[in-house]
Each structure stands twice: as structure tokens, then as C-alpha cells.
């Protein structure tokens, strides 16, 4: 039995003259994601990417799982490859279809005859296959409007493909088709979700993390690296920047009014992050903030933070409730790591009563009261970069 996977494009199909661009990025991403899964033949036709395994020992469940995390694919179909004659179509496919049809109560058959030299026309193929299915699975009825299962037959140049089950792909557009972003990755629940969401829109992300030993531990850093590795399953390989931030926090604590501590700290984090962006040609910052979730995420606080930024800050979780963010993090598999109980970046320093409505001029005054430039430079110079590859 030979299976093939059909990856149906999402909105790439709607693109105009640069559709080819998106398609080749998608193909590159798929190839990279399957690099350790075996050898495949790839072909493209009619907004579909065909992934055909070249050997029999390939674990197709694993391949489908990997492909379901590649952005740009809206639907995934596993299909059976059969010879291009009615006899094979009718008889070789029944066992394969059984899995989907046995649990269903109604079905319809859909035929696509791309090869117009095939002797039967599409409605005739439907009729014959439908008849055969009814004979074999007498409990089924035909329902062409709301079927439980749609069996699709595609007659292509070399083979015919038959499939019954469609799985949802990751959606979005291929990573790498929309520029580069720097994700501020804290170790909480929100930031990995934010990274996932911009990657879905084609942004290739890098991640930056601020560590403050001894206030934060080696294990806290390991946890953040693990999060980066987990989102790499969707986002592709990630450069992980780890900034030593202890000194800045200690100086802040001594020199900044307590209620403005978090805001000024965030401005300094943004400053450091965008220095790497400028150096590495990264066009935006990405954070997991959601309006009003905590004191530093009020509208007023964000205005003050953004005033320190020379490039846009994207916040894909901005309108989401915590429960919605948690739902996404569970879906992409980062939740369990996010809730590991290690001291994070700044719980020790958090002011008792942070200002929820900071005024920009006051914040700026608090920041210029001390010359942070040498510390920022030192932090940037001592930052370590590590390539995090998606597992497997």
C-alpha cells in the first residue's frame, strides 16, 4: 500500500504574481522539517503540494504530525496511490477507506479528473465508486449535501489518489515570507504563544531572554530554552539571545523610583533587544503582552515602553484573555513547560505598588537620572547566542 500526503495550500492559493515565491518558501520549509524523516518526492499542482515517500519504512503518522505544524498548509490529506484504471480504483481502495467509512453514516464521492484522457468522466467515476462503496458498506447512505465523509478521487498524470480523511493544517503563510522579528521570551505562558502567532503570519522569529543570576537560576534558563525548542516545531530554527541583566536590575533598584521600576526596566530591555535587531536586520519586536493583564501592560505603560522603541512592537496576544492564551499554549504544547515553577526574571524586584498610569515625561526623567548606556553596552557585549533547532 502506497500512501501519499496532499498538502492543500491555505491563502497562498489566493496570491497573485508572487504566489511562486510563497510556494518555494513553503517547499523549502517542508523539506527542512522532514529532513530526518526519510526521502520524499515533492511535486506541486493546483495549489497542492504532494509529498510522496520514496521508501516503505517511513513513519507516515510522524510525517503528518510534522507537516501539521508547517505554516502555509490549510489541510492535509493522506491518500492512497493506486493505478490509473477503474479496476484498481474500485478494488484496491476499499480496505484503505474502511477506517473512515465504518464509523460514518453517510458519504459522498468527489472526483477530480485532471487527466482528461482518462476514459470515464468525473460523474461516471463517482457513480461507479459510490456503487462499490455501498455494496461493501451497506450501512451507509449517500448524502451529497452534508456527508459525514467525502471520498475524493483524483486522477493525475501518473496515478490516481483516493482519500477520505482531511486533517487541519497549521494554516497561515510560510515562515520566512514576512520578514524577521525578535521575540521577547520570558518563560511565562504568553510569550511563546506570541511567537507562534507571528510565525503563523510568516515571520521568522529570533528570541531574546534576560537572565538575572543569582535572582534567576540555570534551570529557569533551561526552561526558556526548552520553550524556544518547543515553538521551533512551528517557527523553525531560532537564534536564542541570552542577555545578562542582573547589574542593570540592581542599579535600577537603587536609582529608579520604585513605582516606575518595571516600566524603565522594560524600556531598557526593548533598547537592548532592538540593538540586536539593528545589527541583524530584524524588523520588529514581538511580545506576549495583553492589554491590562498586569501593571506593565496597561495602555499607559505600553505607550511609555513604546516611546523607547525605534521599530514597531507587535503584540499578537493584545486582545486575548488569559484563558484564550492558555488554550493556544496547550494546543502548541508549551503550557506544561511554561508553568514549571522557577523564579523568573524579576519577581524579586517587582514593586509593591507599580504605577498603572505612568506619565511618559516622568518615566523619561527617571531613566535619564542615571547613565545606563555603559551598562547596556556591557550587557549587549556579554550576550550569548545559541541556535535552537526544532527537535527530531
Partner 1 sequence: MIYFDNAATTKPCDEAVKAVMNGLDRYGNPSSLQGMGVEAEKLINAARNAIAKSIGAADEEIYFTSCATESSNTAIFGIAKTLGKRKKRIVTTSVEHPSVAVCCDELEKHGFEVVRVAPDGEGRINADDIISAVDDNTCLVSCMLVNNETGRILPIEQAFSAIKRRFPQAVTHCDCVQGYLKIPLKVKKLSADIISLSGHKIHAPKGIGAMYIKKGVRVPPFMRGGGQEKGFRSGTECVPLICGFGAAVERYSDTIAERFEKAHSLRKYLFEKCDEHGIHVNSDMECSPYINSIALEGYKSEVLLHFLEQRGIYVSSGSACSKGKKSSVIKEFGIAEKYQDSTLRISFSEENTLEQIDSLIESLIEAREKLCSTR
In the complex, which residues of this chain contact partner 1 (CB under 8 A)?
213-219, 249-250, 253, 258, 340-343, 348-352
* 5 or 265: CB nearest partner 1: 265
* 37 or 217: CB nearest partner 1: 217
* 50 or 245: CB nearest partner 1: 245
Q: Whole-number minimum distance, CB 280 to partner 1, in Å?
A: 30
Q: Whole-number minimum distance, CB 343 to partner 1, in Å?
A: 5
Alpha helices by DSSP H, the chain: 19-33, 60-67, 86-91, 94-101, 122-136, 190-200, 218-235, 246-255, 261-280, 299-306, 322-332, 335-338, 360-368, 373-381
List C-alpha distances in Å: 384 to 155, 208, 222, 240, 284.
54, 10, 14, 8, 20
Q: Whole-number minimum distance, CB 214 to partner 1, in Å?
A: 3
Rounded to whole angstroms, the Cα distance separating 342 from 98 reads 49
Q: Whole-number minimum distance, CB 44 to partner 1, in Å?
A: 49
* 159 or 223: CB nearest partner 1: 223
CA nearest neighbour of 33 among 75, 76, 63: 63
- Residue 170 φ/ψ, nearest 5 degrees: -80, -15
* 229 or 344: CB nearest partner 1: 344
* 147 or 188: CB nearest partner 1: 188
* 323 or 347: CB nearest partner 1: 347
Burial class (CB in 10 A: 0-12, 13-18, 19+), 266: buried
Q: Whole-number minimum distance, CB 357 to partner 1, in Å?
A: 21
Q: Whole-number minimum distance, CB 380 to partner 1, in Å?
A: 22
Q: Whole-number minimum distance, CB 330 to partner 1, in Å?
A: 21
CA nearest neighbour of 150 among 123, 110, 112: 110
Burial class (CB in 10 A: 0-12, 13-18, 19+), 39: exposed
Contact 5, 76 (CB under 8 A): yes
Amino acid at each position: 500500500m502506497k500512501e501519499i500526503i496532499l498538502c492543500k495550500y491555505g491563502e497562498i492559493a489566493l496570491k497573485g504574481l508572487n504566489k511562486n515565491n510563497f510556494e518555494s518558501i513553503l517547499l523549502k520549509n517542508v523539506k527542512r522539517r522532514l529532513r530526518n524523516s526519510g526521502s520524499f518526492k515533492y511535486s506541486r499542482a493546483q495549489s497542492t503540494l504532494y509529498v510522496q515517500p520514496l521508501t516503505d519504512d517511513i513513519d507516515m503518522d510522524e510525517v503528518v504530525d510534522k507537516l501539521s505544524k508547517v505554516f502555509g498548509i490549510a489541510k492535509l490529506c493522506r491518500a492512497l496511490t493506486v493505478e490509473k484504471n477503474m479496476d484498481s480504483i474500485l478494488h484496491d481502495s476499499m480496505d484503505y477507506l474502511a477506517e473512515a467509512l465504518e464509523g460514518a453514516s453517510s458519504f459522498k464521492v468527489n472526483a477530480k479528473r485532471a487527466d482528461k484522457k482518462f476514459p470515464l468522466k468525473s460523474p461516471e467515476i463517482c457513480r461507479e465508486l459510490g456503487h462499490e462503496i455501498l455494496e461493501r458498506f451497506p450501512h451507509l447512505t449517500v448524502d451529497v449535501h452534508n456527508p459525514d465523509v467525502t471520498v475524493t478521487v483524483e486522477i493525475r498524470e501518473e496515478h490516481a489518489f483516493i482519500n477520505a480523511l482531511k486533517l487541519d493544517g497549521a494554516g497561515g503563510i510560510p515562515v520566512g515570507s514576512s520578514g524577521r522579528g525578535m521575540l521577547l521570551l520570558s518563560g511565562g505562558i504568553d510569550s511563546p504563544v506570541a511567537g507562534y502567532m507571528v510565525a503563523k503570519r510568516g515571520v521568522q522569529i529570533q528570541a531574546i531572554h534576560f537572565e538575572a543570576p543569582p535572582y534567576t537560576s540555570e534551570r529557569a534558563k533551561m526552561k526558556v530554552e526548552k520553550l524556544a525548542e518547543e515553538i521551533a516545531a512551528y517557527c523553525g530554527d531560532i537564534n536564542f539571545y541570552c542577555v545578562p541583566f542582573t547589574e542593570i536590575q540592581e542599579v535600577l533598584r537603587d536609582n529608579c523610583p520604585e513605582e516606575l521600576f518595571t516600566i524603565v526596566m522594560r524600556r531598557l530591555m526593548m533598547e537592548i533587544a532592538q540593538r540586536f535587531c539593528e545589527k541583524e536586520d530584524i524588523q520588529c519586536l514581538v511580545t506576549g503582552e495583553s492589554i491590562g493583564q498586569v501593571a506593565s501592560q496597561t495602555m499607559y505603560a505600553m505607550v511609555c515602553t513604546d516611546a523607547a522603541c525605534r521599530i514597531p512592537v507587535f503584540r499578537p496576544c493584545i486582545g486575548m484573555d488569559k484563558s484564550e492564551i492558555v488554550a493556544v499554549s496547550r494546543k502548541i504544547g508549551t503550557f506544561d513547560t511554561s508553568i514549571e515553577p522557577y523564579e523568573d526574571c524579576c519577581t524579586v524586584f517587582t514593586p509593591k505598588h507599580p504605577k498603572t498610569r505612568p506619565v511618559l515625561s516622568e518615566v523619561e526623567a527617571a531613566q535619564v537620572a542615571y547613565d545606563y548606556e555603559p551598562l547596556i553596552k556591557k550587557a549587549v557585549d556579554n550576550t550569548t547566542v545559541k541556535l535552537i533547532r526544532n527537535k527530531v
